[in-house]
Structure 1
Amino acid sequence: MLAATAILMLDIAVVNTALPTLQADLDTDLHALKWVLDAYTLALASVVLTAGSLADRFGRRRLFLIGVIVFTLSSAAAAAAGSIEFLIAARAVQGLGAALMFAVSLALLSHAFRTPQERTTAFAAYGAAIGASFALGPFVGGLLTEALGWEWVFLINVPIGIAVLAITATKLVESSDPNPPKIDIPGQVTLVAGLFALVYGLLNAAEDGWGAGHVVAALAAAAGLLVAFVAIEATSRAPMVPLGMFRNRRFAGAQLAAMAISAGLFSTFIYIMIFLQQVKGYSPMEAGLVLVPGTMVNLFCAAATAKIATKVAPVVLISGGLGLAALGMVISALMISADMTWLELQLGFIVSMAGTGLFNPSVSAVALDVPERVAGLATGIHDTARQAGVAIGIAALGTLVSVTDIVGSLQDVMWAGAAIGGVGALASLYLFRPGTTGLVPVPQEA
């Protein structure tokens, strides 16, 4: 599970470092580069909920195997891309494979580790894998790009995928829901269309302005489709997202917090890499090395949550971690300049990554505090929140970016990311206030 999670998250992070080189080789622009990232995260976010339902019905191990195969083959296709259009298409297919894998990862861990203590340790390792992948990704991507070429940020997935396939086939135990829900096709269609329209509108607003006809039309369509999605889920006999689950404030708070840290912090990495390589003149590997100290802090903090979580309430680690991530971005926004040194960049990034290390294992544990028979569904909802946050965050923060003023743009991005993280931390405090229940109510039809 950790190996699979690592390559899923690395495929968001490693590509960041390779983007300037990829831009030159494929003769493209920043707008298309953002689609290289968002095609992956958008496909993942859009399908992971249905993937969770399919896994509950047909077997989580089976769906995981299919996902690994799709992900590995599409990684090879991405490496062979000769145009930006083909690469974006391959990344979208990668996202579909990733959705199948991601949708069942926590559910499979939950099935394998039964006691609260075992699960706390497993979730701590899972959170560390997520945080380390995001933080180590730029360095790994830079090393591969500089030494072997940008194609290898995708090719590296192939041998890892084969190893994951072998372990899955020989070690993982099958699990499923004995009474799985029906597949919610209307909900899936409106969710995919709504998220695509939203990201399309935001990405094009950065290029053409908010008043452009196609931007207004896309954002209006997004609003209508997402409202329709909620209406469908509220009235469906077998919704892909039982809205009753969100009556539990802890569960709702975990999803909101996951989306906030993804949109506020993780989506800034693409713009940090552009700043380091295009403004500071760092090579891909040098740019990745700048983020290594924060990586180590993240790993230490994530590992420490296994013990800390037994002594403090989850809200302390979730809201506190998100608050630290926001504080780190404030520090970065105040210090970023064209002549800043790599050491000056460390303070804000280390604070943010310390918060991330505390946050990830804790929010995952709360998100999976559900009956095992709907573990796949809960995992899907949680992963949708994370990946939708990254996709929407990249697109939304991109509206603040000007290619003629990268330094000022990065400052604005950091301020906006800090605001998102701060609001998420406060909302988590409110939703986790005393009196909330520990278990998510599960609708009868689920």
Structure 2
Amino acid sequence: MRLSRSRKNSLALAASCLASLMFGLEISSVPVILPALEKVLHGDFQDLQWIMNAYTLACTTVLMATGALADRYGRKRLFIGSIVAFGLASLLCGLAANTAALIAGRALQGVAGGAMLICLLAILSHQFRQGPERTRAFATWGMVSGIGLGFGPIVGGMIVALSDWSWVFLIHLPLAALTLALVLAGVDESRDPQAARLDVAGIATLSLAVFGLSYSITQGPALGGDVLRIVGAALALLGGQLDLAPALAPAIAALAAGGVVLATALSLVAFVVIEKRQPHPMMDFAVFRNRRFSGALCGSLGMNFSYWPFMIYLPIYFQSVLGYGSVRAGLALLAYTVPTLLLPPLAERLARGERAGLVIPAGLFTIGSGFMLMYLGAGAGPLAWLGVLPGAALAGIGLGLTHTPVSNTATAAVAANRAGMASGIDTSARLIALAINIALMGSILLAGISAYLQARLPGAPDAGRVRALAERIAAGDVAAAAQSLAPADAAALAAQAAEIAHGALLQGFEWVMLYGGAGAWLLAGLSWLTFAPRAGTAAAGVAAPPA
């Protein structure tokens, strides 16, 4: 039976939404099950870090390459392959008997998930060209995408409570099968007819640059220590001169980190040179002269500069600063996430025509305002929730206003046959900004805690001890950190130590909230200036000529 155009579009939208749901769940549901993985698979802290990082590293590495491949060989064809690969990778994760197998499965999931996300955005842009239908499609996708990311922690926690950790991964098998059926029935094939040959050199150099950047951010601090241990072992073998290792430690750590940074920079320079010489490049730099595209890209950066990375740390604030239990903290987190599900339809209606240049900066400004409200309320003691929860809801409203107009505007700003490239740049900007700011927020949190401890601890506390205490407090282990500050049998000192540990965590979060708010406001201003027409433009809202 031949399906009508509207029916096929509905099936294509459902497929895109299910794929986005799977992608989001694998980002936000896995952190909840890490304690169970530590016990069952006997993993150490570094293993648990890799379980999280493998997905993001692999995903960011393939984003632009996937856009080029989709434009060249067909978005539907690559979408089908990525869905199958995602399902198989999820099966490997669910059957993993040790952390090494799980890390490998997570890396494969990341490759497939990144490809899946790029393809679905290009398919939505191609299948829903203009008008109210396109607006409704992107609004629906935005709501479902928000469900995957926002409710992932609750979903992961429920699965672990009712069943086994492996079902956090195995649940994707039936979802992938259903998504595949919907794609086969409803998605039209599309490609770039001008993509004469694949830009292999561009794909290779950009993939190396993105991987190097992501690796430097997530694993850079540990890299120097790993190299140091190797050099120390070599020195021991060469005559027991292990005492040289501490003296060489700063130089070795700097050399290791510098080597990764240099390789990343060289790969990026090589990519730019290669793309400038390509007659039909994978990334056409002329697209950045399109003010609508670049303004939307600022929105992509802004959302992941503040809102999404803070979601990882917010549950620690609820539990360790406000003293909420796990259930109450999960409910409080809904104030942060539910607005992101309700606002996309309104945001798409508001952003019709040329109004995205107002809606996207306004959404970023609202996110920043929510962070500032949380910052002002955080220090209010028992009444902190009166500022923090409304601030969290305001940030969620801002995200809901920004999320779908950003993707819709970025892909609509370029020619339809370059939708794969546009969605690749947009999604790369999101995930790279997310990786950077997860690391930066963690560093700022530690810095705030350390500064408080340095000021409050008696005498001149050892920097190494302060760092160790700050890491324990930042992880939410406030009670254990307080016990290490004072003997258990000294009640007065124990109470004072608990107060110091709690105050240090509060200051760390205040610094993070201030950073998130200021960053969102800065990018809101940059987005507004980028969208604004050049002096002398005849009509307001007229963008630069499409790239």
Report the counterpart of residue 391 of structure 1 in structure 2: 435
CA contact (8 A) 1:293 1:346 kept: yes
Decide whether aligned partners of structure 1 residues 265 and 296 sit closer, same or farther in structure 2, where only a CA change above 3 A counts: closer
Report the counterpart of residue 27 of structure 2 in structure 1: 12
Is 1:382 the counterpart of 2:487 in the alignment? no
Give the CA deviation at 1:321.
0.8
Give the CA deviation at 1:399.
2.8
Is 1:237 the counterpart of 2:237 in the alignment? no
Is 1:431 the counterpart of 2:530 in the alignment? yes
> What is the DSSP-based 3-state SS (H/G/I as helix, E as strand, rest coil) of the residue aligned with 1:419?
helix
Is 1:134 the counterpart of 2:149 in the alignment? yes
Decide whether aligned partners of structure 1 residues 93 and 192 sit closer, same or farther in structure 2, where only a CA change above 3 A counts: same
Give the CA deviation at 1:336.
4.2
Using the TM superposition, name which of 363-372 and 178-187 deviates more. 178-187
> What is the DSSP-based 3-state SS (H/G/I as helix, E as strand, rest coil) of the residue aligned with 2:472?
coil
1:252 counterpart letter in structure 2: S
> For 1:185-204, what per-residue CA distance to the aligned partner results, in whole angstroms no more than 9, with x for missing partners?
22222222222222332234
Report the counterpart of residue 228 of structure 2 in structure 1: none
CA contact (8 A) 1:206 1:399 kept: no
CA distance in 1, matches of 2:300, 2:432: 10
Report the counterpart of residue 248 of structure 1 in structure 2: 290
Q: What percentage of aligned pairs have identical amino acids? A: 34
Larger Rg: 2
> For 1:377-425, what per-residue CA distance to the aligned partner results, in whole angstroms no more than 9, with x for missing partners?
2111111111222222223333334423322444433333333322211
Is 1:66 the counterpart of 2:81 in the alignment? yes
Give the CA deviation at 1:99.
2.1
CA distance in 2, matches of 1:148, 1:340: 37
> What is the DSSP-based 3-state SS (H/G/I as helix, E as strand, rest coil) of the residue aligned with 1:434?
coil
Give the CA deviation at 1:32.
4.5
1:386 counterpart letter in structure 2: R
> For 1:237-265, what per-residue CA distance to the aligned partner results, in whole angstroms no more than 9, with x for missing partners?
33221101111122122123202311322
> What is the DSSP-based 3-state SS (H/G/I as helix, E as strand, rest coil) of the residue aligned with 1:82?
coil
1:378 counterpart letter in structure 2: A
> What is the DSSP-based 3-state SS (H/G/I as helix, E as strand, rest coil) of the residue aligned with 2:29?
helix
CA distance in 2, matches of 1:439, 1:260: 22
CA distance in 2, matches of 1:403, 1:101: 36
Decide whether aligned partners of structure 1 residues 24 and 288 sit closer, same or farther in structure 2, where only a CA change above 3 A counts: farther
1:70 counterpart letter in structure 2: A
Decide whether aligned partners of structure 1 residues 7 and 148 sit closer, same or farther in structure 2, where only a CA change above 3 A counts: same
CA contact (8 A) 2:68 2:282 kept: yes
> For 1:213-242, what per-residue CA distance to the aligned partner results, in whole angstroms no more than 9, with x for missing partners?
222332333333323323332233332211
The TM-score with structure 1 as length reference comes to 0.89
CA distance in 1, matches of 2:320, 2:208: 35
Report the counterpart of residue 514 of structure 2 in structure 1: 415
> What is the DSSP-based 3-state SS (H/G/I as helix, E as strand, rest coil) of the residue aligned with 2:112?
helix
Number of aligned residues = 442
> For 1:355-397, what per-residue CA distance to the aligned partner results, in whole angstroms no more than 9, with x for missing partners?
0100012111210122211112211111111122222222333
Report the counterpart of residue 196 of structure 1 in structure 2: 211
Report the counterpart of residue 9 of structure 2 in structure 1: none
CA distance in 2, matches of 1:332, 1:154: 34
Equivalent residue in structure 1 for 2:134, among 99, 102, 119: 119
1:403 counterpart letter in structure 2: E
What CA RMSD, in Å, does the superposition of the two structures yield over aligned residues? Answer: 2.8
> For 1:26-84, what per-residue CA distance to the aligned partner results, in whole angstroms no more than 9, with x for missing partners?
44455554443332223222212121221122221111010001111111212223333
Q: Which one has more relative contact order, counting CA pairs under 8 Å at least 6 apart? A: 1
The TM-score with structure 2 as length reference comes to 0.74
Give the CA deviation at 1:279.
6.5
CA contact (8 A) 2:93 2:166 kept: yes
> What is the DSSP-based 3-state SS (H/G/I as helix, E as strand, rest coil) of the residue aligned with 1:291?
helix
> What is the DSSP-based 3-state SS (H/G/I as helix, E as strand, rest coil) of the residue aligned with 2:188?
coil
CA distance in 2, matches of 1:405, 1:340: 22
Give the CA deviation at 1:6.
1.2
Equivalent residue in structure 1 for 2:397, among 350, 354, 357: 354
Within-5 A mapping of 1:6-405: 6-28=21-43, 32-206=47-221, 212-213=253-254, 214-276=256-318, 286-310=328-352, 313-336=355-378, 345-369=388-412, 370-400=414-444, 401=446, 402-405=470-473
> For 1:2-36, what per-residue CA distance to the aligned partner results, in whole angstroms no more than 9, with x for missing partners?
11111112211112333344344444455554443
CA distance in 1, matches of 2:388, 2:30: 21
Give the CA deviation at 1:334.
4.0
CA distance in 2, matches of 1:88, 1:342: 38
1:419 counterpart letter in structure 2: A
CA distance in 2, matches of 1:440, 1:108: 23
CA contact (8 A) 2:57 2:215 kept: no
CA contact (8 A) 1:336 1:411 kept: yes
Using the TM superposition, name which of 37-46 and 306-315 deviates more. 306-315
